[in-house]
Every structure is written in C-alpha cells, then in structure tokens.
Amino acid sequence: MHLPRPRRARAARFAPLALLLAASSACHDSSSGGGSAQTSTFDASTATAWFAELTAVIDVEGLNPPEASRRIGYASVAFYEALVRGMPDHNSLVGQLNGLSALPEPPAGRIHWPEAANAAVADVLAGLFATASAPTLTAIADHEALVEASFTDIDAATIDRSKQFGEDLAVAILDWAADDGYAQWNDCAFTPPTGDGLWVPTPPAFVASPLEPCWGNLRPFVLLFGAECAPLPHPAFSRTAGSAFAVEAQEVYDTVNNLTTEQQDIALFWADGGGSLTPPGHWVSITGEVVTDLDVALDVAAEAYARVGLAVADAFISCWEIKFTYHLLRPITYIRDAAGPINDPAWTSFITTPPFAEFSSGHSTQSGAAAFVLTDLFGAVPFTDDTHAGAGLAARSFDSFDEAADEAAISRLYGGIHYRSAIERGLEQGRCIGQVILQNVEFRKE
C-alpha cells in the first residue's frame, strides 16, 4: 500500500420530488434583504432531488460503473461550485482538483444559490449525456424546469441572473471534463494478454473484450495518477493444492456452494449490475438517505455529494489501473480449470461474473473510499439503506459507513466473483484514496 502523499501546495482555501421542492421553496430566498442568502439557509431538497434524478438516468441509460462514476464526479463538482460562493465557511475546489484552474465568478447582484446549482448541474448532465436517448435528455430538461418552477417566491431578475451564472459555470466544468482523457481512453481497442493466471472471457456471455481496459489512464480528480494507492499484490498464481492462491479459490468455491439465505440476500443487495443505478450510484443513494435522515442544510449536502463524487470517480480510475496491471483471472475460470486443484467444469458464480479482470475489487475500492470521506464528514452514524426498495430487495441497516462498505465488499465473495485478497486489499486501496482526497482537498476553511 502506498502511503498518502503530503499535502500539495495550493491556493487559499466543507420524499417525493414535488414535496421536496415545495419544502425548498419555503426556505429563505436570495431576493429578500440586502444580498444573497447563504446556502446554509436552504434545505437539502434541491441536492437530493437532483442526485436521485442522476442515479435514475444512469439506470435508464445502462451505464457501466466507470462511466457512471465519471458523471457523478463532474455533476457533484458542478453542484458544489454553484453553491460555494454562498458558503463563507467553505472553499472552492478551484486549484485543489487536477486541471481545475479557474471557474467563473457570479455576476453582481443577488443570487439564488439553489437556482444556480439547478442550472449548472442540468447543463453539465446534458453535456455528459449528450449521446444519450432523447427521453433521457428530455428528463434532464424537465427536471430542471420542475426545480426552477418550485422557486415561486424569487423575483424574475434574480432567477435569470442565477441561472446565467449556473450555465456559465457548466460551460467551464464541461471544458475541464473534456481534457481528462475520456475521448481517447473510453472503450479503447485492447487485446488481452495471454498466459497462466491471466483473465480470459467468462461464462455465460464470454465477452471477448474486457470492459473499459484503458479507464485507468483517465486524469484523476485528486490522485496524482491511478496507481497512487496501489494495494499490495495478490498471492502468486498457482495450481498447486494448498498454495495461497488455491486456498483463496477454494474459499470462493466452498462459500458459493453453501450460501446461507443471509449471504444470498447480501450478494443480491449489493450486486448493482447491468440495468441498475451501478455501485457508485448506490453510494450516491446512501448519501441522499443520510442527508435526509440528518436533515442537513444545502451546504452540507453539497459537500457530502462532492466528497462521494470525488471518491467514487477516483476509485474507479485507480481500481481499473490495477485491474489492467495484473489481468488476474476470475474464480470461475480457476474453479473450472481441468488442470487446477478444484476442476469443477459445471460450477458457476452466484452473481454473474463481470467481463473484466479480478484484482482488485471495484466494489471494495469505491466503497472503502466513499465510506472514508462520509465518515470524516458525519461520523459513524447508523442508517438504513433502502436503495432497492422498488426492486423488492429488503432494506439493510448499518451502524456506520464502514460497516456498509465491509458488507458491500464481502458480498463479492458471496457472489463468487472475487477472491478474498481482491476484497480486503480493495478496501485498503479505497480507504487510501479517501485519505488522499481529504489530505489534499480542504472543503472547510480553518
């Protein structure tokens, strides 16, 4: 495990939609008094509504986890930056994130910060989802209009001024995003290496090309490079019974063959596979649940989403850099190998094995990172996660974010798709990423 680097030198320096928005419009507005009301005088409903909309769009569009994490990252920064000038105890992220050297300042006059954030995140999502389906683009535009319409007690000039600031900010955020290497590295041409212990296509689909093999080359938000938090390596590949590698494979085999009902529930609850809000979207959902339960103001909610956005975005860049360094084969390949010590050609994983290399675990890495930054903000708060209530999966309760991250990680052993080393070292990798973020991004002024 690489230790987090010292702090870099930087510039000066934390219900149903209709009901949520109705509550928001009842809060203080920026058109009263002598200036703009601070962000902390508004409730969090604009934030929770928008990030719920984002996870819904991710689900509808069927994004893969790296793609989802990138959109979450940029949306969260846009939302935070549209509000931060109304947050006197917080810092802008300008000069603190890689490549983010400048953003426009708000114009003179009163600003309604929720409308600025509404316009900014809507335009950023429209840009990031530019090739999405027409219904998705319409949904984003309709959501923006619905939020704006809820601000019934704000004068038109203030709304127009605030909206223009948000739109200008979105242009700058999208320009920044355009330089992160996505255009070059997304879905790159790739020929997997061959040899003992290396990844090969897995059943049932046997997808020949692994998912997003060059994602680790994208510019991180905070990490200096993808492998900055590289974990210790996995045990050396071996087909010898009793070797460290064979023991880990045997654990996967025995676990899946003897799953309890509770273990099956855990594996399914955290699966977040194709056609879902994805693993990073799941942590966005958790953030919304906690923001709502704690009844925090809009400034704290914006910080919470920004922390999670940075954490999951950098986690997927980091994890994918490691995956495509080791190219480790999946348990199903090892277990079915006729030359291996288990040799069960009919065995299958409980959760469908995803089409990319095994080490390290993406669930573990991003969960460790998200839990770390949320714990730093809120502490070890208990919460109930009902992310999948609409899908018939019972809610699960946790005493802390770390407990949830640990369960998300071990769910991949129960699913039969990761060895223990990928799970445990992925969690370490994620917590390192969270620590690097907090060492190098100062949300709050001292």
* Span 253-283, pLDDT tens digits: 999 999 999 999 999 999 999 889 999 999 9
pLDDT tens-digit readout, 232-242: 999 999 999 99
Q: What percentage of the chain exceeds 90 in pLDDT?
A: 91
Least confident stretch, 33-42, 194-203, 391-400: 33-42
Q: What does the pLDDT average to over 20-39?
A: 52
Residue 446: pLDDT band (50, 70, 90) is: confident
Q: Which residues have CB under 8 Å from 406's CB, separation 6+?
A: 427
Question: Could you tell me the domains of the chain?
Answer: 17-183 (1.10.606.20), 191-440 (1.10.606.20)
User: Phi first, then psi: what are they for 203, rounded to 5°?
Assistant: -70, 160
Confidence of residue 28 (pLDDT cuts 50, 70, 90): very low
pLDDT at 26: 37
Tell me how far apart the alpha carbons of residues 388 and 59 are, in angstroms, rounded to a whole number: 12
Asked if 412 and 254 touch (Cβ cutoff 8 Å), the reply is no
Are 357 and 332 a contacting pair, CB within 8 Å? no
Give the max Cα distance, the chain. 78
Q: Are 217 and 226 in contact (CB under 8 A)?
A: yes
- pLDDT, mean over the chain: 93
Please determine, for residue 14, whether its predicted confidence score (pLDDT) is greater than 80.
no
Residue 12 has pLDDT above 70, yes or no: no
pLDDT category, 21, cuts 50, 70, 90?
A: very low
Burial of residue 6, with CB atoms counted within 10 A of its CB: 0-12 exposed, 13-18 middle, 19 or more buried: exposed
Tokens for 11, please give them: 């510039």
Quick one: tokens of 187? 């879905």
What pLDDT is stored for residue 137 in this prediction? Answer: 98
pLDDT value at residue 32: 32
What contacts 381, CB < 8 A, 6 or more positions away?
A: 290, 293, 294, 400, 401
Q: For residue 325, what are the contacts with CB-CB under 8 A and spacing of at least 6?
A: 216, 227, 230
DSSP H helices, 178-294, are: 182-185, 244-257, 261-269, 278-294
- Is pLDDT above 70 for 19? no
Contact 205, 356 (CB under 8 A): no
State the average pLDDT over residues 348-362.
98
**Displacement of CA 300 from its chain's centroid (Å):** 18
Q: Which two tokens stand for residue 146?
A: 């619905």
Name the pTM for this structure.
Answer: 0.93
Closest Cα to residue 64, out of 181, 186, 176, 185? 186
Residue 216 pLDDT > 60, yes or no?
Answer: yes
Residue with token string 């917590």: 431
Mention every residue, 6+ apart, whose C-beta is less than 8 A from residue 78: 117, 120, 121, 124, 169, 170, 173
